[in-house]
Amino acid sequence: MLSIMEAGGVALFVAIVLTPVLIRYQRSKEIGQQIREEGPATHTWKAGTPTMGGILIVLAAIIGYLLGHVGGYRTFT
């Protein structure tokens, strides 16, 4: 149970710390949402919004899992 809590804590920390870094990187490389011209005019304000945030969530979960389970099982008595 402790390793699950550690993994969740690490994943949350990684996601909180790396999200602004990823957003700045994507904006600097101009990686963002493309708006089609035949779409609604109200969607034009979304142009350039950084995408691929799911990659960071998956990466944070993997890092959290690995760091939460390093060292094997621990027992406290």
In the numeric block, which tokens belong to residue 58? 């998956």
Reported as a single tens digit per residue, the pLDDT across 18-59 is 999 988 888 888 887 777 777 777 777 777 777 777 888 999
Report DSSP letters for 4-63, one per residue.
Answer: HHHHHHHHHHHHHHHHHHHHHHHHHTT------TTS-GGGGGGTT----HHHHHHHHHHH
Confidence of residue 72 (pLDDT cuts 50, 70, 90): low
Confidence of residue 71 (pLDDT cuts 50, 70, 90): low
Rounded Cα distance between 64 and 8, Å, is 6
CB contact at 8 A, 13 and 59 = no
Average pLDDT, integer, range 55-66: 91
